[in-house]
Structure 1
Amino acid sequence: MTNKVRLKVKPAYAKKMKAGYPLIAEDAIMNKKELKVEGTFIELVDEQGQFIGQGYYGKQNKGLGWVLSRSPREVIDGKFFKTKIKKALDDRAAFFEDADTTAFRVFNGEGDGIGGVTIDYFDGFYLINWYSEGIYRFKDEIIDSLRTLTDVKGIYEKKRFAKKGMYVEDDDFVTGERAQFPLIVKENGIHFAIYLNEGAMVGVFLDQRDVRKAIRDQYAEGKRVLNTFSYTGAFSVAAALGGAVKTTSVDLANRSRSKTEEHFTINGIDYEEQDIIVEDVFNYFKYAVRKQLKFDMVILDPPSFARSKKHTFSAEKDYTALLEQAIQITEENGLIVASTNCSTFGMKKFKGFIEKAFNKTGETYKILREFTLPEDFKITSEFKEGNYLKVAVIQKTT
């Protein structure tokens, strides 16, 4: 290990980091001006010079990098990365053996011991998401580990470290064979069309797997379902396969229509019998109220932050108002599947949004079930922000 920079951690942060907090927060470091090149190795010490941990410099959101080891003697090299990736692959052995699910996460950043990188599996192909230039400097070690440890058809990557956290437009293919797109994968028997070469989004959010299964197996039968912020219609497909009378998918993006039609088609569903609407969700809510439309299930899975010509949505500020609108068009005893991937608040605060929305509308409710991240999205208890997904299945009671 060369070019290691020693950083002093402020007293206010030292205790937390000694307890296992893995993110090197920008505000935690006294001498951050010594950091020059991303990918540089870091040694963290407290004010007295006592060792806290070692990691790497890589700017990600409000962090300067990640702690990789709590031992001053551990060497961060190819063997280190290989050991971490092997354990992660071993932990997902049951997923590799499940013929009904051929898409899942095999490495979840800090939850598997290396913050700043995730790896997803799509029927023999691997997708690596790099979240900083710092972790990208270890690209060769991580890719070599993958190719050594498992059967790899091909590897793709997404570089998510342009300014303001944007995706770096580039050829996403890395090595092996190129996939034929769409790459059809399965999730609990549901088919999804994956495109690893079409920008930041690939076609489905893997962290919602358990929620889609519950919608299909427990909640959709006989219901009229509204899926808002529908993206490629994955929730709508799950609902239709679960016996929904009809689904309505609403998303502002023009591509949502063709992507949703494709997902219905590969699952043997006639998309012409479903409603697929390209529209601002907030405008659609107003339309539904005006037309007195009601649904037996409303699915809310907005992005943490979104901007359209007329609306700006922030989950932390605006989720309560979004729920109020959903409540208005939900039948009595109907369900609202409320979801957020915003990492800045936890489930307790999210439940507060739900309570506030129902109080404002004068309606009553009960939460039937809660979801967080599925088991392949491994987390560490010392980093609560990593457990970002919060989903509540809410019944509007009479």
Structure 2
Amino acid sequence: MADFPQIHAAWQRRRALVREQRLDAWRLVHGAADGMEGLSVDDYRGRYLITVEAEAWLEDRAGLEAALAEVQEELRPAFAPKFYWVANLPKQRGALPGEEIDRFEVVEDASRFEVHLGEGPHTGLFLDQRENRREVCKLAKGRRCLNLFCHTGAFTVAALQGGASEAVSVDLSKNYLAWLERNLELNELEDRPHRSVASDAAAYLERAARGGEVFDLVILDPPTFGRGKGSTFSTIRDYGRLLAACLQILSPSGRILACLNTRKVAAEEFRDFLKEAAKTARRKVLRRPAPPPDFPETAGAPGALKAYWIA
């Protein structure tokens, strides 16, 4: 890996993690934290999602792929790697020409998830939430769980795997809710107490409060920006009212996993915001979970994901 020694170094730092946890899906390169600012590489069972935020990384695609193939040779010698490039540049966004779309399953601990490569930056599974899914699984037993902006339902799977008494999953996208149902089937959870609700999150929370519904575990993980029927959603603008509504339907011993995924807000700023909101509701912010080891943070390269538990 003479041309890209940083990739070799990144693999050396993660080799034990990947092998000990038998990870199917994990991050090999995490931008500046691995000495490769503007580049991230995720491995999904030998299919590599390469996201570039600096044009320089497009100058030697073949060389970069060759370096990744060397990792693949050690990790999965019987499987030829595939490479899926995504641009996140000012004048170019989305999937770049290359491999055909691939849809397959990955395993995380005891759970199976359907993922898609070749359709853009989103695969159906957010790898940086792995440790939070594990925590939800540990906390879920006997609890009624609400998963807002549920996407493809990874947190719902985690809650039901952990023994949640019921899970309610809310998302505007019927496509994502159908994907969630497939994930439940993959894990033989389709007969567990669960409801999928195609709704705007704020509207659902209003209905839940009017109906006297109470939840013991709430996952609030909105997208940075969304568009629904006749309205738009902005995390920075609308997070406060969503959090207040979640606190209103939280049981006395309940917990909220509050997530924010943007580099525009520092972790400390988000924490202080949550503390003020929690104080008003006589709750408290517990802690910020550590990111997965394959998503290292440094002072000069803070992560986009911020997550805190509120109780």
Fold shared by both chains (TM-score > 0.5): yes
- The residue that corresponds to 1:216 in the other structure is 137
Structure 2 Cα separation of the partners of residues 379 and 232 of structure 1? 26
Amino acid at match of 2:53: Y
Find the residue that maps to 1:230 and give its secondary structure.
coil
- The residue that corresponds to 1:117 in the other structure is 39
Amino acid at match of 1:324: A
Offset of 1:95 from its aligned partner? 2.9
Determine if contact 1:112/1:379 at 8 Å carries over to the other structure: no
Amino acid at match of 1:387: G
Amino acid at match of 2:2: K
Q: Which has the higher contact order (CA 8 A, sep 6+)?
A: 2
Find the residue that maps to 2:296 and give its secondary structure.
coil
Matched, 1:193 2:114: yes
Matched, 1:370 2:268: no
Seq. identity, %: 31
- The residue that corresponds to 1:98 in the other structure is 20
Backbone CA RMSD of aligned residues: 2.2
Task: Describe the shift of the 1:172–1:271 C-alpha distance in structure 2 as closer, same or farther (beyond 3 A).
Answer: farther
Find the residue that maps to 2:284 and give its secondary structure.
strand
* Deviation sequence 1:47-66 (CA, Å, 0-9, x none): xxxxxxxxxxxxxxxxxxxx
Could you tell which deviates more after superposition, 262-271 or 306-315? 306-315
Offset of 1:164 from its aligned partner? 6.5
Structure 1 Cα separation of the partners of residues 187 and 103 of structure 2? 14
**Unaligned regions of 5+ residues in structure 1, if any?**
1-77
> Which of 139, 144, 167 is the aligned partner of 1:247?
167
Find the residue that maps to 2:9 and give its secondary structure.
helix
Structure 2 Cα separation of the partners of residues 165 and 391 of structure 1? 29
Offset of 1:265 from its aligned partner? 1.0
- The residue that corresponds to 1:79 in the other structure is 2
Offset of 1:96 from its aligned partner? 2.9
Matched, 1:258 2:185: no
Offset of 1:84 from its aligned partner? 0.7
Task: Describe the shift of the 1:260–1:242 C-alpha distance in structure 2 as closer, same or farther (beyond 3 A).
Answer: same
Determine if contact 1:172/1:196 at 8 Å carries over to the other structure: no
TM-score (norm 1): 0.72
Determine if contact 1:252/1:280 at 8 Å carries over to the other structure: yes
Structure 2 Cα separation of the partners of residues 137 and 220 of structure 1? 47
Matched, 1:388 2:304: yes
Offset of 1:119 from its aligned partner? 0.8
Find the residue that maps to 1:312 and give its secondary structure.
strand
> Which of 66, 70, 83 is the aligned partner of 1:148?
70
Find the residue that maps to 1:195 and give its secondary structure.
strand
Offset of 1:372 from its aligned partner? 4.2
Offset of 1:165 from its aligned partner? 6.5
Task: Describe the shift of the 1:372–1:340 C-alpha distance in structure 2 as closer, same or farther (beyond 3 A).
Answer: farther
Offset of 1:85 from its aligned partner? 0.5
Determine if contact 1:117/1:135 at 8 Å carries over to the other structure: yes
Amino acid at match of 2:63: E
Amino acid at match of 2:288: E
Amino acid at match of 1:140: A
Task: Describe the shift of the 1:123–1:96 C-alpha distance in structure 2 as closer, same or farther (beyond 3 A).
Answer: same
Determine if contact 1:319/1:353 at 8 Å carries over to the other structure: no
